Amino acid sequence: MTQAGFIDAAEAPPRATNEIKLYGPEGFAGMRKAGRLAAECLDMLIPHVVPGVTTQKIDDMAREFVLSNGALPACLFYKGYRHTVCTSVNHVVCHGIPGPKTLKEGDIVNIDVTVIADGWHGDTSRMYSLGEVKRKASRLMDVTYECMMKGIEAIKPGARLGDLGAAIQEHAERQRYSVVEAFCGHGLGRVFHDSPNILHFGKRGQGQPLLPGMIFTVEPMINLGRSDVALLSDGWTAVTRDRSLSAQYEHAVGVTETGFEIFTQSPTGQHTPHTSGAGAS
């Protein structure tokens, strides 16, 4: 018997459902492989994210990497999107579209990749810095990484989604940064964007209780200024309304009997803030 509001993923229809899917060992094994490949893709890009590179070139390298490893880029042709990664530079909050734009010294960029490996979705993103970046930019990236990890560390059976959101919001607001509310994390597995929505703000003790077998992303977007976002006319690119800097990190995680498992950990330990090709310390 599955608890009300939940469904055994093995018996669930292969689409987004209102009921939350609970995955068994097979799902966790599939997510481990997909998550690792996505993380390896972000690792592979590190030495290439240097001043002068175009975001299109980054997308090309990511696509080739994913395909040559026998996986598919989940974003390619997703809702009309034409690229493998999102490249969100400086005040772009998320869903920045790769193109002829060249990255320059001092920029910060989030690269977000999702792979489909054996039917499972590995979804992860990190910040990269281009050469020397301003102190306020590197602090924003550090704190955003900490926000993601504090959210993840709140995950265990019986905890609630509000605990996760509150941990993120409290850490961001303590630095006088703001949490973007217009975008959230999501359940994933064989489906890319499934329920539940994972809000990166909230109140402790509120929201959906967590059960072992749940799989979802934690992907907070944190702004130096106000939290309001605007959508550009391309229909994808979300920017901060006040054009202040924004940062984001994303991991895909599963709820275990005792806590959580991160599927998208960098095998080389490089999922840390602002690692770049130029040997950032």
Residues at the interface with ligand MF3 (CB under 6 A):
75, 78-79, 81, 86, 95, 112, 114, 123, 217, 219, 236, 250
Residues 249-268 that bind Co ion (CB under 5 A): 250
Least Å distance, CB 103 to ligand MF3, is: 19
Least Å distance, CB 237 to ligand MF3, is: 10
Q: Is 59 in the site for Co ion (CB under 5 A)?
A: no
Least Å distance, CB 36 to Co ion, is: 15
Q: How far is CA 127 from CA 30, 67, 148, 150, 205, in A?
A: 26, 23, 12, 17, 31
CA atoms within 13 A on the CB side of 243: 0
Least Å distance, CB 192 to ligand MF3, is: 7
Q: What is the pairing mode between strands 92-94 and 238-240? A: antiparallel
Return the number of the residue (40 or 112) whose C-beta is nearest ligand MF3.
Answer: 112
Q: Which partner from the list ligand MF3, Co ion, none does 161 bind, CB cut-off 5 to 8 Å by kind?
A: none
Q: How many residues does the chain have?
A: 281
Q: What is the pairing mode between strands 20-22 and 6-8? A: parallel
- Applying CB under 5 A, which of residues 43, 59, 112, 194 lies at the interface with Co ion? 112
Q: Which residues pair with 32 in a beta bridge?
A: none
- Applying CB under 5 A, which of residues 123, 146, 163, 261 lies at the interface with Co ion? 123
Q: Which residues pair with 109 in a beta bridge?
A: 89, 128
Number of residues forming the site for Co ion (CB under 5 A): 4
Q: Is 76 exposed, middle or buried (0-12, 13-18, 19+ CB in 10 A)?
A: middle
* C-alpha–C-alpha distance, residues 246 and 107, integer Å: 11
User: To which residue do tokens 């974003």 refer?
Assistant: 75
Return the number of the residue (113 or 140) whose C-beta is nearest Co ion.
Answer: 113
Return the number of the residue (114 or 265) whose C-beta is nearest ligand MF3.
Answer: 114
- Applying CB under 5 A, which of residues 217, 240, 248, 264 lies at the interface with Co ion? 217
Q: Which partner from the list ligand MF3, Co ion, none does 86 bind, CB cut-off 5 to 8 Å by kind?
A: ligand MF3
Q: What is the pairing mode between strands 185-187 and 120-129? A: unpaired
Closest by CA position to 201, among listed 231, 236, 177, 237: 177
Q: Which partner from the list ligand MF3, Co ion, none does 78 bind, CB cut-off 5 to 8 Å by kind?
A: ligand MF3
- Which spans of this chain sit near Co ion (rule: CB under 5 A)? 112, 123, 217, 250
